[in-house]
Structure 1
Amino acid sequence: MYLKKILPIAFLMALVAPIQAFTPTAAQISQFQNLPKAQQEQLARQYGVDVDSLLGGGSAVSAPTQQAPVLERTTSNQTSATATSQNKNQTSGLKSFGYEALSGAALGFTVVDNLPVPLDYQMGPGDVVNVQVFGKSNQKMTLKIDRDGTINLPDLGPVSVAGQTFEQLRAQLVGLIKQTIIGVDVAVSMGTMRTMQVYIVGEVSQPGAYNVNGLTTITQAIVASGGVKNSGSLRQIQLKRKGKVVSELDLYDLLIKGDTSKDVRLSSGDTLFIPTKASGVELDGEVVRPAIYELKGRTTLAQLLALAGGPKPQAYLSRISVRRMSSIGSQQFTVDLKQASGRNFILQNGDEIRFGEVSNVLKNAVAIRGEVVSQGAMNFTSGMRISDAIGSIEDDLKQSADLNYALLVREGNKNQDIEVHQFSLLKALSDLNSIDNLLLQEKDQIFVFNNGLDLNYWGAEKSINLARQKGSVLSNQTNISYIDSETGAEIVSQEENAIGTFSNSAVSATAKQQQGSRAKLLEPIIERLADQASYDAPALLVDISGAVKFPGTYPLVKNATAASLVVAAGGLTEDAYLDSAELSYRGIENGRLISEQINFSLKDAISGKSLVSLSPQDHLAIKTRPDWQEGMLVELQGEVVFPGRYTFQRGDTIKDLIGRAGGFTEFAYPKGAVFSRERLKRQEAERLKYLNAQLKQEISNMSLRRQGASSSDPAQALSVLDQLDQAEPVGRLVVNIDKAMKGDELANLMLEKDDKLYIPALNPVISVVGEVQYGSHHTFDPNKTVDDYIASAGGTKRQADTGRIYIVKSNGSVEVPNNSFWFSRKYQSLAPGDAIIVPINTDYLDGLSTLSTATQILYQLGVAWSAVKD
């Protein structure tokens, strides 16, 4: 025979050997795999062997220990890649819904010793129970349920437990042992669960017998077997027990609704039968989950749409394409889901349904965007005006709508170039005869902007519902609502789109877009105007800056003036200078770009006394009043008669501030004043950041040197680095309050915004910090020198730099020693509130030069904060 000519005789003998003691070589298996599939199956049937075993599978062996819910099969173990590949439809590219969730390689033997056992687990032969008796006597027993459903208790005999739940068995054993042995407590736990054999047959990737434990459910067994074939049904999985169907599982309930009520546990000898799929349809296009779906019974188009998660927002529900193959040939149906007849359209096996997308071009419509209750398109009628599109301020506009500035965008020619008109909603809706109540044209778009108020916005759902009630949302933004006859849930789909050139910025009723800022809403208009610009036609855009609420770039509207641009920018702020404004404009003269500026009275332009027209690319600058200042506040705390926050004018000084606060109290110590300035605080923060980065670099270099011969310890440097990370800048400025109060021009500083002055009480304390044995505070003694205070702190440490000891005075200034006279008892340099600083010797840490500067700043910050807190 042809097969015998190809395969070696030794290999054929191995196939028919009663005892599989021979293992084919790789070359022999390769020869077998190269045969056509039909010949492989023919040879296997002829010699009574399993094709899957020859292709790498093999029977598995189970063990009587506690296992995972699914153990392993007792027959062949072939790969399940076929099931996955079958899920793709060869013609449409759609996948069959649900099969991937069940596919995968068959699970191997897995031992799990701590699997929790539910109380309703039904006990049976092979289950093992652990019993612990303690108290008067101690005993541990491992009891196995015999085939007759009993367990043998030592000294008590057999006890029938078959058919009981684990909870019932535990209660029975505890009661029986306590009744028999007085004075003991009993603990019963589950040991090893029994293994049992079930059959998985039908349209599964790997049918056969499987060893499972008592907790295995239908879906777990199917997943372990490699999944269901594409030809198998997911909606009519049958669990048979003793030849009768005891349960039927619809996996769509689990995959779509999360319903596991029908996913029951298996019993010994059960059979899972997967029948062939009765019918299916293809659903493609603008739906949430396009796929091939299996039908179950009489299914309508609305029910199928619910299975697919509903339509996408851009789905065109008025024309659903249904293609049907029947005995008379191909048929085409067009279904309207807005009609009851469309929603109740009955599907048949093999139908191909496609949801198309709505057109980007709206006809016979106008659109409204922005701060309106209902965004979207509405039907256009001849003679329609602004007041017809937006009925009233109270009902159709949000509270955040800008009533003084709105735009009408219109396509002005066949090239679809747009022109922009500005109008006032307040005038248009209050006076129907006003010129602001513009006459609309087809495809016009109305933009209503935010007035900058921080208000709560209505959600999209409220907008849609109100629009539906008012009937203002028509064919081009249609909300379709219908009841799913199977689930009873309401399914809502919304068709929406902007018009013409704004198709990429579709009108939307979502809450996120309703909260868009003025710049966000202007963005598509500005982009379109920029795109349509050319060499001889500059972009119709103008800029405004300065004292207006919303400075930025705006469309150049028809008949634009400086006054209309100010309105577009939200109006003037309170610091605007009305006597003069500057208009810069650009132009081409003799092929060269020129720029000129003119100044005009903003007051006259706004009042209408003068007309300042605008041209493309103009820039309007609104000046700020020279004498205008905001937030001119300083803070005065501590030992003054009336501490608190004070307003001031430019030119006010420290002396003026303290005088307004009633002067000092009797406990004040002006020499220890702490003066903080916001500007210096920012500079100090930058300095700390720079020192932090520089010190990190030096520590990194030191670490590299330590890998060589150096033996320095970087712990001190790392400690300083941590303090720099957490240091809070003070922005302290050294001031002499005594001189300031006497009127000294240099000491009596002018105040700045957010200055803070703290006058402490007299604190007769000298602080010693840095590289001393014990950093501490000492009572001020005018007879003690610096050396005496350091000795009181235990002396200096080994790494101290005794040659650079310095003093931070109570007012923040620093005194540095210059000769041996520093430590003389005759030298009276110390005063209450001073701090003696003993710095670290940078040579101690391989010359970390930054460390000295960093520690000095940290000490000074600490002294300042200590003065404030004390």
Structure 2
Amino acid sequence: MAAQAQTQTQTQDVKNLDVKSLPQSEIDRAKKAMQDAGLSQEQAIQLARQRGATEQQIMEMRQRLSEQDTSQQNMYNLYEEPEILPEEKEDSYLSQRKVEFKEDLEVFGAYLFNNENLTFEPIVNIQTPKNYEIGIGDQLLIQVWGNSQNNYQLRVNNNGQIVIPDLGPVYVAGMSFDEAEKKIVKNLTAIYADMAGDNPGTFAQLDMGQLRSIRVNLLGEVVTPGTYTLPVTATVFNGLYLSGGPSEIGSFRNIKVIRDNKIEKVIDIYNLLVKADPSDNITLKDGDIIFVPPVEKQVVVNGEFKRNGIFEIKEGEMLNDLVGFAGGFNAGAYLGNTQIVRQTQKGQQIIDVPYEQLSTTPLVKGDTVQNALITDRFENRVSIEGAVYHPGVYEWTEGLTLAQLFEKADKLLPEAFKGRGLITRYNSDRTTSAIAFDVEEISTGKQNILLQADDEVLIKTHFDLKEQPYITVNGEVIDPGPFNWSENMTLGDAIFLAGGLTEGADSTFIEIARRLSYSDASVLSDTIGHIIIANISRGLQLGKNDAEMKLRPWDQISVRTAPNFRKNETVFVSGEVAYAGAYAITNKQMRISDLVQMAGGYTPKAYLQGATLERFSDELGSERVAINLQNILKNPGNDKDLLLKNSDRLNIPEFMQTVKISGSVQNPFSITFEPGRNAKYYVNRTGGFQAQANKRKTYVQYPNGETAVTKGLIFRHYPKVTPGSMVVVPEKPEKERQQGLWLAIASTMSSMAVAIAAIMNATN
């Protein structure tokens, strides 16, 4: 009933809500609540309807949310760079570039106007040339110094005049800078009398201030046609750059500058691109028109040229001109045959053009010119590999013999196999033939063979033609391993190569395993080898015992360890003993009880039940061995009294007074030991088990390393606890925990939905 009353109250509150008067903070909070709940705007509105919101309120909320999105977008736009109008910007006569940079343009020359690292922006701050023509709108700066001093900043008016105070108008429009300077200085003598004569006392100088602007029109096939405002010093390329240059179908070689209704100049950009000739880049004048007509003839270059792309060709230009525009052929281009693929009304044609006809071959609109690589096949080589001083590839000439090739390769190596060599020769169909020869007879001149182009000669060493013999030394030597066998090698030599004997070696018992001889191996039997026992002196002196025994290939030598040899071994004892420290193992039968006795016995504070033994082995590494030292010392020499091994560490701790509780408990910590208590008692002392605790698996780890687990399915019997023990409560497996979690989630789903709806109701 209470929930129903609350719902009715919320519905009445929703109907009375004025959405228009809500502060922006409430709108922001409503939007955040929607996002946190994972609800879309439509889902939130549906919940509002269920809570009693009217359609008028919903419409107003939509509008408020929409206004918020728009205001945020406007806020972001505040950070964007605003457009600056010409009259608001310094140097307002400069039009701004209105084209974005493009990549991967194929038309040759387009990169000139679409490259971020190359610009043709008009230059304003330059030294005024003497032949600069002064026009209406230019600002002139006149500086007077000497006996009289004055500064004038005068602009050329629409009548072509500057008006000098106390003097009057002076006409300068159309005059060169040099002429205007002379005229102005001459007129200033009317004010400054001592400026004239052979020995003047007052001087004047003319400088240009802010230059006038001009307007030019870019028409035709440009990327961004229009009217552009430029400084008076601007050139044709400045105008083309601002407009983005010729479009994809615009001409680069027939650009017209029209002035006073006449063609002033025809611009060919290729002159700059190919010849670095800037003479076409003339200065513009006010009212000029730059007209870019459509391109008339384009051809494609694709192949082994330094530049590939689309090129524009003028009437009368030949294929060699196009190759020049493309930068010439690559180093690997096959010059003997350049091909033209030509479009016709019936299809396509291929035209092969020899190199000597490039200058006389015309091109047609739409042609594709291509060129391939030279084949990588050598026409005049032979090769020699193997047992020569300088193997490799050599020049083949008519009449070259095999003996001459030996000389080119700096003769045969001493280890060369003289009985046979091999020539691999290519037939006309690129199959191969093998030609064997006697290396000895070729090298002595008794025989010779005439070589052909592409012949491959192979000479092997006698090492290549048989298995390299070796011996093996292992066991108690300093540097065991295989070693190459040599003629007359002895057992002493082999031990010497292996670095000598170790301290544990038994020099009186060295085993040599030897393969069967060829004659023995040819007879079928169970014997697969021979064993020889040798005896040598430890000093490896010559002639002592069997040290001079000759070895055969493949002998395997094994040096055994002396029967009773053992390296010094040490064990350690620490904790509550009279004399803690390291002790040597002097007897194979030395046990734990012996070590305690050697250490002077344990002290009154010793806690024997907590004693531990740490042992290291190559197989298992470091491990902890559970022992019962109290029983061991009562019955020394029994099975529990372990034999000691090298690096064993016995630790006898002081009596422990606490018990540690860890794992899935409410408050894990250590508790003072109480006799007779089991594991559950200590868990309860920490606040009890957590929800995910696996009570059945609770166990106790005793100080000596042993473990006791909880027993029983229905009635659990928890293990006893001793001083220094640790009670461990593990968690349930993840699968069991997830099952419990989903049950909890399922039980709260409906309450979560009500909570989300309540949030939306409160904010709307």
TM-score (norm 2): 0.42
Bigger-Rg structure (1/2) = 2
TM-score (norm 1): 0.37
Q: Which has the higher contact order (CA 8 A, sep 6+)?
A: 2
